[in-house]
Structure 1
């Protein structure tokens, strides 16, 4: 769905990749919703379906719109089910600024807390285009700066291309293509991953997103099949 740039997919790459901090507080591609809108997400992101109870991150995100053009949010990740992460593994805070009905600029900061020793800064642009009734194309481009994202070398370059098919008011399908690398050594840190996923509306402003992630190409592509279960609720 929208942007799993978080963990696994919209996962960024460090110059010496030992962990992956999300470049955006929002796990999904969602433009600012307007003044007063608030939502929360919570779920599990699994990096290896063959070892779920040792490779899973629990994620929680909350965001609100204090202005008709501005959205602010924060995302927490916990390594309770991940042998390689601390119990509190990361915190990303950020904002989106609407540039129009179909585009926005993004600003995010990964905080040196939990398992993260250094701050990271990401800047990005997002755009949505309606191709025809019920069919859209979302795109997002982000740059990861500072040691918390790039490991002290180069610039992390991250792109999302996301075709969206809305079937009805209950089901939507997404085919996320994630492309990530680092300008210091583009070929060495190239990761091209695919993340098909689906939204299922369960009523009362709640949506369940279920998806998988697959490594397609590049030396840094995802090695194992990943899985996500995230519940989203608008309030």
Structure 2
């Protein structure tokens, strides 16, 4: 029975993970939030799951390294420096970082990559996401994950092909859609747990691949499955696709 430590235990995801652990075969080793001692939690855990904040990532990585245990990172809004830190830590311990721990979204990303590869650049790609009114980052980590999958399928870099924020001024002229762009639209409102659609628009036809999250427990179950899967793995940087064997 694995002992899972929760970083960001008071947050929505932290509470959902604790609920999944209470009803499953694993146990909650404990939880920490801002100002708490992560190193102590790491020493009591077989794996850590982090849904806290980008500012806390460095300390959380150090705690996992100090205890020599795996870390699942579900925190979104990470920058280039954060990913460099993750790469360095993954040389010592197994780390899985993802913008979405849902098993359904993981399969969706796989399908998006396949579709983008097989349909080719003549099909325009737009990614539309909607979340609750309190979400602070946009596009969502999941939308970016899907964008990366589409870019990988096309053999291009997402960073140089992103198109978002059209129409900053009401009724303004934004110009035609850039050729080869991967567009993003972020909607916020209500209590939506997460809606993502990838639209591939060709001549006289469209293909839409989508995923609807009805409850945060789907992300919590995926995070727990990822943590369990990481235990005993060699050091390295892993993805949710590795967990599903894709």
Name the TM-score, length of structure 1 as normaliser.
0.29
**More relative contact order, 1 or 2 (CA 8 Å, 6+ apart):** 2
Q: Which has the higher helix share?
A: 2
Q: Which structure has more strand as a fraction of its residues?
A: 1
Normalising by the residue count of structure 2, what TM-score does the alignment of the two structures yield?
0.28
Q: Which has the larger radius of gyration?
A: 2
